[in-house]
Structure 1
Amino acid sequence: MILPLSLLSLLGLLSLGLLASPWPYLAPGAVLGLAGLLALYRKPAWGLLAIIALVPFEGVFKDSELTGAKLIGASLAVIVLLQLAVGQLSGERLRSNQWRLLLPLLALYGLSLWLSDDSGVSLGHLRMMAVGFVLFAITLLVGRELNLTLLCQAISVSVAITCALAVFSARFQELGRARGLLDDANVFAMLIAVAVPLALWALLNSRRWLLRLLWLTCLGLLLVGMTKTESRSGLVVLLISLGIAVVHYRAWFKRIRPRHLGFVMLGLALLLPAVAMVMPAKYVERIESLVLLKSGASGNKDDSLGRRTSYLVVGSRLIRDNPMLGAGPGTFPLHYATTGYANRFAPNAKASNLYRQAHNTYLELFSELGIPAGLLFCAMIALALHNLWQARGLWLAQGDQGRADLLTHLSMSMLAIGLFLMFLSAPNHKYLWIMLALSSVLRLQAEQAMTRWRTRAPSQEAAPWSS
């Protein structure tokens, strides 16, 4: 504890100096900062949990240079580096099967940055991506102490709160679409799609009826919030997640007896009209417009679908022009602005509306970084899902159904992120990089537990694995 004591002395002197300065009102802030740093030093996983919980609220201070998430993230990074330097954290914790994909991806990113069509834009993109890379390393280092129950609860509650704000206040909507505290309704829909499986897990694993009521309320807010976003991609991803949940818990449906069918019919009779009342008519029209995809960009009456088709056309052209290293990180909007599509789909004459992202992370990375880097990024998503599913199988083999269920729901959230990246340009999203690293941590923990279990019960070593 030598390092914390020295830190305590330093900040104590700072507080005394502030009291003697022309700004004595800053001294309590130094004391609070000291308490926060000491708490982070003792429990770095709390800092990571706080960053995760603050993601839905990032839009509150979007124009501020200093936010709570940035302050916690910077402090956590410094503390983790100090603990590595003094040996409190082992470098062995950085072990992950994702590095074999991430390191070549970083090398290709550097080459693409060097040969970029616009180095200034690419450097800005690098600063943005650096947040994800740092969170990846921090999660590997402190993810073992992360309480997964609190993780699920923090994401569910924080996203549900923003859903409540968006549903009941027009201030958190844009053109009638709920966006929460963020700038984009589709990004908000992705947070909801990530939170729904976790809220469902919390509901199914609560023992007290008050807690069940809390998680049922959160789940209801999340589902209503999804309809208010009017996100077609969000609906598709949500239905896929719920389908996986039905398959996973299919054994529960065997408990339904003929005498229960009346209650099932009553529930459907109440639920379907409620869904019809909550579902905005405009959302229904947006869903119906999906059939217009076959008409392409030129014949499409839906401007949103037309824009997305035009992104595919421009992105394909960039990939053909430079398939190995792409046009440079972050340069897709620059190339899109020079096409006729930019003027066609710009809502007004502002120059900023001409520079549009691809709204497809995979297309953006393939066109900006090249095909090899794009394939590596896709492989990282697939490997994260494989890690979570392998960890689930290991816990099932040990007879731990509870942890296996949790891994199933985390897999659903990771799948939601991977699917949503086809509709969003979010290669630096915090949830993405945290989940990429956490998947490795959870698989390693399951493998270590499996080794201990086999040592304690050698007679069960040949027991069949469930999947």
Structure 2
Amino acid sequence: MALILPLSLLLGLTIAILLAGPLPFVAPLLAPALIALGVLYKHPSWGILGLVAMIPVEGLFPEGSAITGGKLVGYTLILVVALQLLLRQLPEQRLRSNLWKLLLPFLFCYVLSILYSRHIPLSLETLRQLSVGLSLFGLTLLLYKELDLLWLARLMVLGVSVSGVIALDNIDERTGRSLGLLTDPNYFALLLTTAIPPALLLALRARHLLMRLFWLGLMVFLIFGLTKTGSRSGFLIFLLCLLGALWHFRAYRRYIQPRHFGFILLALMIGAPLAFQALPDEYVERVKTLAFIKQGVRSYDDPSLGRRTSYLVVGSQVIAEHPLLGSGPGTFPLEYAESGFAVAFSLSPNDPNLHRVAHNTYMGMLSEVGLPGGLLFIALVLLGLKNFQHARAHWLQAGDNHRAQLAAFMGLTFLALSVFLLFLSIPNSKLLWILLAISSGMRLETTEATAAATLPEARPA
């Protein structure tokens, strides 16, 4: 209380200086910024929620902007958490994770690959981008105990839905695909697909009919948006998530009586044709082209599939030439530009764009960082999936269906993202590293619960 008067005087003096300076419009923002800083200091986990909500709308800021909403929240959150660590308001023990045993060797291989990279400045820039995800991994580990995962699911679904409303009509005239805010239909499909499991979770957890209908409506909107992207990989991953949800609820089959089968068959007979008819003809034809993938790089009936196959060919060649340390982080586009595929699968003669990424995070890691580093990264993702599976199995066995359901659907979100890594090069994805940390937090919760259950009961004196 004694600091209120001097702090108020300092705030007033600072505002007066700003008003007299070259940037007077900043002065009115100072007081709200200080209030926001105080709120973030008291509830730092809200910063993680804010970052998750901002991921889908990052495209609203110009590319390469020095200040964006995500950067502002991220830097402030790092400052707040660092200060709380120094003041011992956050215990360092929260950084415990079973992922470090894979992450630390991966980072060692990554740095070693940079030292022998064919283009060190490009590799250092790639490391800088990866450091964003690594920072979020550490922040989420530290703040996991205060993190409300249901709110994270809500903000993820709402953020992706808002981005869809804004940019669903942003259509590529050449391909007819919805591009989203980041002008990339595949990344837009990634956001839509990863938001579908949380939307279903929220619909199942809603207590009121109107809220349940609201979340179901958003889920239908996300599925509709997925069809507008024309993403074949998104369609396959959506089906995978749907099967995963059915597998999670397989125990409920004992509640199905023989008389219910008629209604189920009737619903399938009516719903399946309607769902198929609701799909745009262009999307159905695009999914059918998956049959051409067996033709490999000579699949000129669909240049997109041929181009993706060429990435695998070039990546395999790089692995054969540099098996241990790769060609260096971020250097795959240089390798691809030097291959004959770059010209053969050029998007446009006027703008050839020969330097293209691997469009496969795992192949990119294996070719750029080498087999040891790439395999460690793949093992890291698999361990994250195993953490979610372990947490779900533990809470089911403990009879806590709510936590088991949360672990299952967070795991399905991570599954959708990890499978999408086969079609996009996004090792620095914020959502990837946040979900990895959440998987570790869930696994640690089950370990602590098991340890608490096995402690001998205290005997009365």
TM-score range, shorter chain: over 0.9
> What is the CA–CA distance in structure 1 between the aligned matches of 2:102 and 2:4, rounded to whole Å?
36
Residues 94-136 of structure 1 deviation map (CA, whole Å, 9 limit, x = unaligned): 1111111111111111111111111121121111111111111
> What is the CA–CA distance in structure 1 between the aligned matches of 2:174 and 2:59, rounded to whole Å?
14
TM (norm. structure 2) is 0.93
Q: Residue 342 of structure 2 contacts residue 354 of structure 2 at CA under 8 Å; is this kept in 1?
A: yes
> What is the CA–CA distance in structure 2 between the aligned matches of 1:172 and 1:406, rounded to whole Å?
37
RMSD of aligned alpha carbons: 2.4
> What is the CA–CA distance in structure 1 between the aligned matches of 2:69 and 2:433, rounded to whole Å?
19
Q: Residue 389 of structure 1 contacts residue 408 of structure 1 at CA under 8 Å; is this kept in 2?
A: yes
2:30 aligned residue: 30
2:152 aligned residue: 151
2:139 aligned residue: 138
Q: State percent identity of aligned pairs.
A: 45
1:176 aligned residue: 176
**Structure 1 residues 173 and 229: alpha-carbon distance in aligned structure 2, compared to 1, 3 A threshold:** farther
> What is the CA–CA distance in structure 2 between the aligned matches of 1:3 and 1:88, rounded to whole Å?
20
Query: In the alignment, does 2:199 pair up with 1:199?
Result: yes
Farther off after superposition, 236-245 or 324-333? 236-245
Q: Where in structure 2 are the equivalents of 1:333-344 lying within 5 Å? A: 333-344=333-344
**Structure 1 residues 401 and 292: alpha-carbon distance in aligned structure 2, compared to 1, 3 A threshold:** same
Residue 272 of structure 1 and its aligned partner are, at CA, apart by 3.5
> What is the CA–CA distance in structure 1 between the aligned matches of 2:11 and 2:365, rounded to whole Å?
44
Give the counterpart letter for 1:150 in structure 2. Answer: W
2:52 aligned residue: 52
Q: Where in structure 2 are the equivalents of 1:312-391 lying within 5 Å? A: 312-350=312-350, 353-391=353-391
> What is the CA–CA distance in structure 1 between the aligned matches of 2:446 and 2:440, rounded to whole Å?
10
Q: Where in structure 2 are the equivalents of 1:442-457 lying within 5 Å? A: 442-455=442-455
Q: Residue 116 of structure 1 contacts residue 329 of structure 1 at CA under 8 Å; is this kept in 2?
A: yes
Residue 7 of structure 1 and its aligned partner are, at CA, apart by 8.1
1:101 aligned residue: 102
Aligned length: 457
**Structure 1 residues 447 and 336: alpha-carbon distance in aligned structure 2, compared to 1, 3 A threshold:** same
**Structure 1 residues 5 and 326: alpha-carbon distance in aligned structure 2, compared to 1, 3 A threshold:** farther
- Name stretches of at least 5 consecutive residues in structure 2 with no aligned partner: none
Residues 396-432 of structure 1 deviation map (CA, whole Å, 9 limit, x = unaligned): 2322111011101111111111111111101000110
- Could you say what secondary structure the match of 2:298 adopts? coil
TM (norm. structure 1) is 0.92
1:280 aligned residue: 280
Q: Residue 315 of structure 2 contacts residue 367 of structure 2 at CA under 8 Å; is this kept in 1?
A: yes
- Could you say what secondary structure the match of 2:297 adopts? coil
**Structure 1 residues 150 and 456: alpha-carbon distance in aligned structure 2, compared to 1, 3 A threshold:** farther
- Could you say what secondary structure the match of 1:181 adopts? coil
Q: Residue 394 of structure 2 contacts residue 446 of structure 2 at CA under 8 Å; is this kept in 1?
A: yes
Q: Residue 170 of structure 2 contacts residue 179 of structure 2 at CA under 8 Å; is this kept in 1?
A: no
Q: Where in structure 2 are the equivalents of 1:61-140 lying within 5 Å? A: 61-63=61-63, 64-140=65-141
Residue 278 of structure 1 and its aligned partner are, at CA, apart by 3.2
Residue 285 of structure 1 and its aligned partner are, at CA, apart by 1.5
Residue 277 of structure 1 and its aligned partner are, at CA, apart by 4.0
Query: In the alignment, does 2:227 pair up with 1:227?
Result: yes
> What is the CA–CA distance in structure 2 between the aligned matches of 1:83 and 1:2, rounded to whole Å?
22
**Moved segments of 4+, more than 6 Å:** 1-9
Residue 152 of structure 1 and its aligned partner are, at CA, apart by 1.1
